[in-house]
């Protein structure tokens, strides 16, 4: 059987695959930091070269920002087409101090690979490249039509992918989309993620006096933008954890009874979760369990706050500026544009007198819910079982993957969210990691997915130009 | 007359004095920043060498921190003794971007000298050195016993001066203390400052989870230290500008009727003041005029705030730490130690659940009020009139000069606060400046003060060991 040769190829190249992943991770492709623009391009070229080397037609597509990598095999009619999306850019590694090993020097410890991008998304995305390679080199060909769409602006919410997808619907046409950029439910408990939160991300800049002032000579005469910012940020949530924007909860689709029941059945220990985070208590919106809040209720977090003197020792300054980055995680029913309007209205209502503010609206995305009863999900269940030796559970996720909504809107396709990561992988934080065993299992699950999607039958001729 | 020769010397050396001041200012003696420790010592040596060169017995006194410069002339019984205090250290120049010329490259523009330390306190302190030089070189000797006490930890509230003064009461014994580290009321309106605010400076560090987390995956499950910090800081003041610490106002000595009347008579334009600061409105505690709030009512300002991601672009992080530097300006009656207790109690009451906090208590000082009817003040009025051609007005000041309380407590002496600066000198902020005309006038006023103090008669033998 072809799949046996594919499995054998994967087993035989285990060490090679890890070395290749390390080489990719060593490229500090921090899309948010212009200093790293050349590195970011280098990561794109690495992906293109890898796809080309395995025999696919691969290209680097220029955008106004970081390039997109697109690759495909020679399409054959009568076969289903799968589009695999991933991203080669990573979050900034800062703060650097807490990293045990340098963020861009991938280091193996306890069966994990530690580095920025290890799980988000270089490691997970790379499983599909290696699955394709295993088919092409191990079995001679891919069993279905495969397209790769690997972008470099996921972490900065660049509008360039959106434009590219909108302008290239035929090129990208497919029956299934697959993304591995989420987590398993727990070690040894693979999962299919059927819901994602959306995102509305803002920056608020508050200005007081024209320049910094002496806090003694001028204190008590002008509003302090740091104090004013605190008033603004403190007004975002009530003591019950409810977000205070006017109308914020109105369009929220409530959790269904079956979901609350399924979540409650999962082996989730609040005590262990709390201990793993090192907090004295779990906190959030009242009236919901931790898993419900984590996966399916909207949230609001300040992502960064800055103003005045941050150096060593005291400085008696009355600052002229302060600012915060903050974001709302949205659930099905909510729309980031509406939330921006609500936030604007809230700001106007709560901003103290004597300061002015500027609102910067960063990228947003609505939440996503995928139907769990479909040919793609059925194939994915079997593939995950083949790769991980265990049937997946169905979960939702608090993170946002805006491209899922984009692919639905533009290509009319649902995305299979097959996460190979773990909840404690610390993506976006220091000491990000990815299990090397899960890297291997993910490659196998991806390879089997190609076969299982074929078993679900031909889907649509439209996918083959 | 000796004083005429002194005045002539000052006039003849005007340009020299400016060049010498520039040389002192070029030394970046930022006491708060350990990187500048060698520079800070260099500034002390500069002062010592200058005092020695004019014929005084000068020494560098080591402390656990930055050295103290002490100098004196040969004491003669039957003469009053004046102790001149100043500081050679400066505030950090950051943020650097708004500076028109580099902070440590003194630059003349429009009759002002622009640089960090130009007015606070290098320029003002230096007037007394040059006045002493004018007596010594112009008239052959000083008319009274003079002691210089110039320290290097004023901007960091170091405890070393406190210890030195407590352990050297005889060495420092005097009839009058003089400090020039305040401002005139307005250009051409010299002032004697009879009241200073005190200071209680804190840093609050808030900790949430053990590490930074992904705001999607973990949002809604743990308290966010940035949000919690905002709640804490927003709780410090009510919408009426009243500080909310329990018992904060209880010991406050109210403004006397004559003070409110005198302040109201001063030519102070709220509209011009507001325009000079570039704010849309003046803000502060309700029930008081701007001058009253500025000079004689307690205030609370956040001096710096930090947490999470501050770099370019968005980052969807749930930070594990946040912090703020904040300070209260105190008025007569209040005690910084009591305020620290009140702040601790307030923190305990308002800190949201799910985070922990650490309170760092930086330096504090009580407020100061000096009696306006005394021989020293009478002499100072005549000296200022001689130097500036106009009698001084009596004002208070929102800044803190902890050493004034220290000299009162340890030496039993009131301090003459003779400020040569202007309110818009931007001390502690970017583009700090000092009027070169006022520099010259201050030197003359100081020289005349020596003579006028002698006219007030012999004060005490205790000052002459």
pLDDT of residue A463: 40
Contact A400 B32 (CB under 8 A): no
For residue B368, the chain A residues in CB contact (below 8 A) are none
Residues B203, B172 share a domain: no
CA distance B52 to chain A (A): 32
pLDDT of residue B399: 87
pLDDT of chain A, 465 residues: tens digit per residue: 899 999 999 999 999 999 999 999 999 999 999 999 999 999 999 999 999 999 999 999 999 999 999 999 999 999 999 999 999 999 999 999 999 999 999 999 999 999 999 999 999 999 999 999 999 999 999 999 999 999 999 999 778 999 999 999 999 999 999 999 989 999 999 999 999 999 999 999 999 999 999 999 899 999 999 999 999 999 999 999 999 999 999 999 999 998 999 899 999 999 999 999 999 999 999 999 999 999 999 999 999 999 999 999 999 999 999 999 999 999 999 999 999 999 999 999 999 999 999 999 997 888 988 888 899 999 999 999 999 999 999 999 998 887 998 999 999 999 999 999 998 899 889 999 999 999 999 999 999 999 999 999 755 444 433
Q: Is residue A291 part of a domain?
A: no
CA distance B407 to chain A (A): 21
Contact B234 A230 (CB under 8 A): yes
Choosing from A326, A342, A365, the residue where a domain stops is A365
How many of the other CB atoms lie within 10 Å of CB of A188? 12
Q: For residue range B415-455, list pLDDT tens digits in order.
A: 999 999 998 899 889 999 999 999 999 999 999 999 999 99
Residue A42: give the domain boundaries: 2-196+367-463
Choosing from A318, A333, A365, the residue where a domain stops is A365
Q: How far apart are the first and last CA of chain B?
A: 29
For residue A197, the chain B residues in CB contact (below 8 A) are 216
pLDDT of residue A123: 98
The DSSP H or E segment spanning B141 is none
Contact A220 B299 (CB under 8 A): yes
Q: Is residue A345 part of a domain?
A: yes
The CATH number for B168's domain is 3.40.630.10
Contact B279 A209 (CB under 8 A): yes
How many of the other CB atoms lie within 10 Å of CB of B265? 9
Residues A231, A128 share a domain: no
Share of chain B above pLDDT 70, in %: 98
As a whole number of angstroms, the distance between CA B253 and CA A435 comes to 66
Confidence of residue B462 (pLDDT cuts 50, 70, 90): very low
Cis peptide before A358 (omega within 30 of 0): no
Residues B218, B237 share a domain: yes
Q: Is residue B169 part of a domain?
A: yes
As a whole number of angstroms, the distance between CA B157 and CA B77 comes to 35
Q: Is residue B331 part of a domain?
A: yes
**Nearest residue, CB atoms, A304 vs list B281, B309, B430:** B309
For residue A98, the chain B residues in CB contact (below 8 A) are 211-212
Contact A215 B301 (CB under 8 A): yes
Confidence of residue B47 (pLDDT cuts 50, 70, 90): very high
**Nearest residue, CB atoms, A221 vs list B290, B305, B431:** B290
pLDDT of residue B260: 94
How many of the other CB atoms lie within 10 Å of CB of B23? 12
Confidence of residue B363 (pLDDT cuts 50, 70, 90): confident
Contact B301 A156 (CB under 8 A): no
HEC per residue, B304-369: EEEEECCCCCCCCEECCEEEEEEEEEECCCCCHHHHHHHHHHHHHHHCCCCCEEEEEEEEEECCEE
The CATH number for B311's domain is 3.30.70.360
Measured CA distances, B246 to A314, B243, B342, B344, B348 (Å): 24, 9, 6, 10, 12
- Report yes or no: B54 at the A interface, CB cutoff 8 Å: no
Q: Which of A187, A127, A124, A85 is nearest to A393 (CA)?
A: A187
Residues B226, B141 share a domain: no
Give the orientation angle of helix A37-53 with respect to helix A14-25, to 10 degrees.
Answer: 160
Q: How many domains does chain A have?
A: 2
Contact A428 B399 (CB under 8 A): no
* Cβ neighbours of residue A66 closer than 8 Å, sequence gap 6 or more: A31, A37, A40, A41, A44, A89, A151, A152, A153, A158, A160
Cβ proximity of B318 and A301 under 8 Å: yes
Cβ proximity of B449 and B418 under 8 Å: yes
pLDDT of residue A457: 77
Residues A179, A89 share a domain: yes
Residues A221, A329 share a domain: yes
Choosing from A326, A345, A365, the residue where a domain stops is A365
Q: Is residue A330 part of a domain?
A: yes
- Report yes or no: B316 at the A interface, CB cutoff 8 Å: yes
Residues B119, B58 share a domain: yes
- Report yes or no: B240 at the A interface, CB cutoff 8 Å: no
Q: Is residue B260 part of a domain?
A: no
**What ipTM was reported for this prediction?**
0.79
The encoded tokens of residue A96 equal 């650097």
Residues A203, A191 share a domain: no
How many of the other CB atoms lie within 10 Å of CB of A284? 22
How many CB pairs below 8 Å do chains A and B form together? 385
Q: Enumerate residues 386 to 445 of chain A having a beta carbon within 8 A of any beta carbon in chain B.
A: 397-400, 423, 426-431
Q: For residue range B48-75, list pLDDT tens digits in order.
A: 999 999 999 999 999 999 999 999 999 9
Please determine, for residue B465, whether its predicted confidence score (pLDDT) is greater than 70.
no
pLDDT of residue A303: 98
Residues B243, B146 share a domain: no
pLDDT of residue B1: 87
**Nearest residue, CB atoms, B428 vs list A293, A299, A316:** A316
pLDDT of residue A464: 39
The encoded tokens of residue A259 equal 């979901």
As a whole number of angstroms, the distance between CA A131 and CA A170 comes to 25
Contact A427 B214 (CB under 8 A): yes
Residues A214, A169 share a domain: no
B94, B96, B99, B101: CA torsion to nearest 10: 110
CA distance B202 to chain A (A): 8
Q: For residue range B126-157, list pLDDT tens digits in order.
A: 999 999 999 999 999 999 999 999 999 999 97
Contact A294 B197 (CB under 8 A): no
Contact B428 A400 (CB under 8 A): no
Contact B216 A397 (CB under 8 A): yes
Residues A247, A385 share a domain: no
For residue B223, the chain A residues in CB contact (below 8 A) are 279, 281, 283
As a whole number of angstroms, the distance between CA A18 and CA A123 comes to 9
CA distance B199 to chain A (A): 9
CA distance B379 to chain A (A): 26
CA distance B325 to chain A (A): 7
Q: Is residue B261 part of a domain?
A: no
- Report yes or no: A286 at the B interface, CB cutoff 8 Å: no
Residues A173, A110 share a domain: yes
Q: Is residue A429 part of a domain?
A: yes
- Report yes or no: A145 at the B interface, CB cutoff 8 Å: no
């Amino acid at each position: 059987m072809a799949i046996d040769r594919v499995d054998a190829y994967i087993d035989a190249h285990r060490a090679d695959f890890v070395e290749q992943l390390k080489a990719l991770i060593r490229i500090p492709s921090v899309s948010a930091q212009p200093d790293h623009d050349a590195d970011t391009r280098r990561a794109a070229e690495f992906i293109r070269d890898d796809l080309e080397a395995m025999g696919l037609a691969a290209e680097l597509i220029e955008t106004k920002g970081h390039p997109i990598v697109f690759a495909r095999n020679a399409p054959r009619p009568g076969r289903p087409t799968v589009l695999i999306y991933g991203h080669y850019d990573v979050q900034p590694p800062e703060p650097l101090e807490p990293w045990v090993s340098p963020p861009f020097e991938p280091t193996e410890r306890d069966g994990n690979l530690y580095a920025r991008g290890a799980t988000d998304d270089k490691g997970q995305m790379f499983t599909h490249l290696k699955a394709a390679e295993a088919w092409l080199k191990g079995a001679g060909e891919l069993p279905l039509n495969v397209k790769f769409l690997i972008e470099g602006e996921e972490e900065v919410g660049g509008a360039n992918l959106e434009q590219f997808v909108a302008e290239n619907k035929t090129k990208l046409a497919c029956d299934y989309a697959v993304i591995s950029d989420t987590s398993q439910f727990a070690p040894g408990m693979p999962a299919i993620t059927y819901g994602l939160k959306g995102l509305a991300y803002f920056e608020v800049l508050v200005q007081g006096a024209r320049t910094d002032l002496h806090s003694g000579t001028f204190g008590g005469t002008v509003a302090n933008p740091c104090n004013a910012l605190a008033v603004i940020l403190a007004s975002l949530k009530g003591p019950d954890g409810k977000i205070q924007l006017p109308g914020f909860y109105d369009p929220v689709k409530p959790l269904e009874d079956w979901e609350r029941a399924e979540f409650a059945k999962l082996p989730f220990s609040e005590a262990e979760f709390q201990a793993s985070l090192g907090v004295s208590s779990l906190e959030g919106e009242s009236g919901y369990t931790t898993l419900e809040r984590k996966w399916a209720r909207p949230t609001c977090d300040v992502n960064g706050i800055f103003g005045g003197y941050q150096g060593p020792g005291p400085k008696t300054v009355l600052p002229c500026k302060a600012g915060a980055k903050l974001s709302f995680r949205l659930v099905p029913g909510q729309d980031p544009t509406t939330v921006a309007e609500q936030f604007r209205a809230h700001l106007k209502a709560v901003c103290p007198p004597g300061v002015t503010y500027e609102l910067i609206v960063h990228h947003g995305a609505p939440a996503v819910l995928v139907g769990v009863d479909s040919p793609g999900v059925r194939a994915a269940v079997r593939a995950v079982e083949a790769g991980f030796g265990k049937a997946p559970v169905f979960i939702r996720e608090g993170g946002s993957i805006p491209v899922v909504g984009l692919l639905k809107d533009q290509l009319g396709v649902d995305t299979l969210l097959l996460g190979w990561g773990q909840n404690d992988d610390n993506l976006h934080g220091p000491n990000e990691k990815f299990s090397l065993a899960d890297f291997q299992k993910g490659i196998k699950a991806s390879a089997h997915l190609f076969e299982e999607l074929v078993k679900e039958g031909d889907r649509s001729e439209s996918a083959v130009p």
